[in-house]
Amino acid sequence: MAESTKRPNEAFDRVLRRFKKKVKEEGILLEVKKREFYEKPSEIFLRVKKAAERRNKATQADEW
């Protein structure tokens, strides 16, 4: 869990910026967005398969 404590004589906006950076590094928002709606196992399989196809297509295009 991301946590940020205020240091003496430190502005709130700096604490907030540091907290947001920790949240981003830990991937908390990505996890929340991923869990926002239920995704059936078949949908997960298709999404992962399509992503792999896009990656393969991109690497093949680079080789030409």
CA gap 60, 63 in Å, rounded: 5
pTM of the full structure: 0.57
User: Tell me, what's the pLDDT at 62?
Assistant: 73
Instruction: Round to whole Å and give the CA distance between 20 and 23.
Output: 5
pLDDT tens track for 2-51 = 888 999 999 999 999 999 999 999 999 999 998 999 999 999 999 999 99
Write out the two tokens for 37. 């709606």
- Cβ pair 40, 34 in contact under 8 A: no
- The answer to whether the beta carbons of residues 45 and 54 sit under 8 Å apart is no
Q: Hey, which bits of the chain come out as E strands?
A: none
